[in-house]
Amino acid sequence: MSDSAALVSFLEKWHARWPEWSVAEIFVAPARRDIAVAWFALLQEFDDVLNISGDPLPADAKLAWWSEELRGWSAQRSRHPLGRRLEPVRAPWASLADALPVLVAARDTPSGSDEAFAALAPFGAAVAAVEADVLGRAPDADAVVAQVLATRVADMGIAAVPTAFRQADDAASLRGWATEVLQRWPASRPAARERRVLATYARGRLDRLSRKGAPAPLPSRPVLLFTGWRAARGD
């Protein structure tokens, strides 16, 4: 597979996970769409490493590979197709590499909300620092962590719920934890437009989980369009 075909494959994988983006990307400048999706696709790779079940060794090996790869980006040397798009950006890639081991420890079930956020805090700060260069504005690091936790509970279900939020009924446990993450998700939006749009859709998914205790279908296209428009405006 050529580098260009491999890059398209990674971007398409991200689009498949976030079909909402196909509605909202009209609010993003065409010249910025490729790099935004490449960046979010990279972060999805890290979500996948965090949100595993079963034998962790393959994911740990993948994480070690990514650590080495990101350090290469700092020296303008890339091997991964996403690097063809992201590596030219002068960003603290090595600092992000330094934060990746946090994801291994964060797989452990936290006792409560403070522990869940604290476990991912170094990763959130590193992502925010790189995003300042990739998208031109740093998001709130706590908001990055909240979005990672939202993806984690969507992917892992009850396994992602801290012990303090677990009840006899799994759906009630999921509702309680989803509500807690929403409440701790910073409401201010200092981030780049692309992050605001994606974060709004991630919050929407988590909000539906907090009400139903299970993943729910996406809203209608008009609702997604209006939501994306408001996020793009910064409302």
The overall pTM is greater than 0.85? yes
Spans of all domains in the chain:
3-233
| Mean pLDDT score of the chain | 94
Residue 137's pLDDT is what? Answer: 96
**pLDDT band, residue 83 (cuts 50/70/90):** very high
Residue 216's pLDDT is what? Answer: 87
Structure confidence by residue, pLDDT tens digits, 157-182: 999 999 999 999 999 999 999 999 99
| Amino acid code (one letter) for 126 | A
Measured distance CA(134)–CA(148) in Å, rounded: 18
Which residues, other chains included, contact 68 with Cβ-Cβ below 8 Å and sequence gap of 6+? 97
The mean pLDDT of 64-83, rounded to a whole number, is 93
Measured distance CA(70)–CA(78) in Å, rounded: 8
**pLDDT band, residue 190 (cuts 50/70/90):** confident
Q: What percent of the chain has pLDDT over 90?
A: 87
**pLDDT band, residue 221 (cuts 50/70/90):** very high
Measured distance CA(165)–CA(57) in Å, rounded: 28
Backbone dihedral region for residue 120 (phi beyond 0: left; psi -120 to 50: alpha; all else: beta): alpha
Residue 155: pLDDT over 60: yes
Residue 188: pLDDT over 70: no
Residue 1: pLDDT over 70: no
Which residues, other chains included, contact 181 with Cβ-Cβ below 8 Å and sequence gap of 6+? 113, 146, 149, 150, 153, 206
Residue 235: pLDDT over 80: no
Side-chain half-sphere CA neighbours of 133 within 13 A? 14
Pick the CATH number of 3-233 from 1.10.600, 1.20.120, 3.30.160, 1.10.10: 1.10.600
| Amino acid code (one letter) for 184 | R
Q: What percent of the chain has pLDDT over 70?
A: 97
**pLDDT band, residue 3 (cuts 50/70/90):** low
The mean pLDDT of 121-125, rounded to a whole number, is 98
The DSSP secondary structure of 51-102, one letter per residue, reads S--S--HHHHHHHHHHHHHHHHHHTT---SHHHHHHTTS---HHHHHHHTHH
Measured distance CA(26)–CA(161) in Å, rounded: 35
| Amino acid code (one letter) for 179 | T
Helix axes 193-212, 30-50, angle to 10 degrees: 40
The mean pLDDT of 47-60, rounded to a whole number, is 93
Contact 137, 144 (CB under 8 A): no
When mean pLDDT is compared across 91-95, 116-120, 210-214, the lowest value belongs to 210-214
